[in-house]
Structure 1
Amino acid sequence: MPPKKQKNPSVNISSSLEESEEFSLETTVPTEDISSSDERDRTGTQKVTRQLIERKELLHNLQLLKIEMSQKNLIIDNMKVDHLTKTEELEERLNVALHQKQVLALRLDSQLQLTQDEGRKQQALRKQEMDGILLRQKQLEETNRRLCDKAGDLRRSLRDLELTEDKYKELRDIPEERLSITEYVAVRTGERSSFMELQTERGQIRSFMRSYEEERRVRSELEIRNQRLTLELADTKGLIQEGDFKRDNYSNIKRERDAFECEVRELRKRLELLEMTHEVQTRERNELSREVSTLQQTVPLLQIDKDYL
């Protein structure tokens, strides 16, 4: 608020001097008694001078009050500007905090959703692989059981491969497709009595046993893979639990939001305190204005008293 223009005190002093001179001229009217007239003139001049001094003091005090009031008005205007600036800053910080809270909430929800979806997909894949592995394991166990049974039967049947001549002739005339393994081996053994032929038969048996060992090795590898997938499934469950931890961590974000809201409440309290201070200063300014108005009303009364004297 620009300061009010102050009146030139020199103009007031000069006007007061002219009035005092006019008054002094009026008081110098000749009378019959010259000495008494001079004494009255001196007395009147002293009164006028004293009144003029009081008037100057009042005018000076009035000017000082006006200057003080202008300075306080400037201070009040500056405080208003500071108050508005701080209010805008606080509102901007509040809006930023609310926006950040919304962004964090959306990011947390999306992250939780993605983590849960990924966990469900991984769990479904692991479950599908486990089902396939378990099915394959059951098939291999069934095949292994059958092979073990066949191997046991074959061992028991191969214990006695000696055939009588009549039995040999009988089996030799039967097609190979209709012969059992024992009968076929007995026939072939009879046909090949030499050591090399016997070694060939043993080689076939070894090949069969290697096949059996290969099946056992594949089964072991599948069991190892089953264990690895079990561990991966446990890791996947751990990731899902970690996603649950992030969801549970939402309370920490909520506490941060509560802290921001508490700070906003504190700033609002400070704003209310500033408003109360502004009201107090406004009341003081009004009181000063009333005092100035009273002094301004006093000046004409003093002028009337001076004119009367």
Structure 2
Amino acid sequence: MQIRSDFQPATLILSRLVEYAKVFDNYNIYDWPNLKNKEDFKNVYDLPFKDRNPLEDIYADGRNLAGFMSFRLVEFNDARYFPTLKSFVDSFHGGWVYQIDQLRDVSQAAKDKAQQLANCPWAVDQMIGLFDRQVDILVSIKQCLDSLKENDLYRWEIGQQQSSFQVPEYNKILECIHSVGRMFERLPRTYADKDEEALRDHILVSLESIVSGSATGETFNKRGKTDLLVRNNKSNEFVGECKFWRGKEVFLETISQLLSYLSWRDNKAAVILFVENKDFTSVIEKVREYISEHPNYLRYSSERDETWQNYEFRMNDDSSKIVQVAVMLYHLP
């Protein structure tokens, strides 16, 4: 699932919630109904009401929990319901995520009753195990929500982030570059013979119109001159490097070059690749394959579209410092 662009600063954690939603969806569609309808759970209805009540609660609460989490965990992408990250995070308050102790009581009551029965249905034991696994996932979801509250975007929304150049601005810069790159592709006769400097200058013109600070090219930063540099309030907010695709070695060297330009406070960057090869799809696949071979590579983060992927890298001089690097490809045959 593609994370909405204005939530990109929280992509890693939101992606984890998406994975949890998939688990809950499988539980809701397959596990719970199979245990109830295709196994021996029907024997529960032969028990006296006081005996079957805690066993029915396991199914009812477990299935409801799975159904709810399967869609709520991914609803952040719908701005009609959650216009801000804060509104999404706060929507869980008072709900299942904050009722873990009560859910464990439900599980324990079912376990106690199952032990008292001479012939407890097999499906009940399986349901209790499934229920407990869901509760364990809820614990992890709460950890994710707590982490989101520490995210720069969430803090900005509640007025705790003081920087005048907010993390979402990085997304605006990338969207601007992407728009220019797509223009290059739509007008091949106009840009096909341009060199890196000319293409970079077209990007700079567009960036200058949308950033609140300055956008410059061939600007010295730390250990060299970077192709694209956006500054605001005397600090670097974005560093970009433009290159024509020349294979694996040059690609990995470009990433190293980009990282060498970054100071400790620089953590938002991009590699913009101009691809002349006719087989553009092959180059896209090679980029995805080769990038993990870079020694600073940490993880894949998200995908804006098939020619724009976001990754995380470790900073050269501080492996605990994470750098966001977008890799953007544009076809200029």
TM-score when scaled to structure 2?
A: 0.22
Which is richer in strand? 2
Higher helix share: 1
By relative contact order (CA 8 Å, sep 6+), the higher-ranking structure is 1
TM-score calculated relative to the size of structure 1: 0.23
Larger radius of gyration: 1
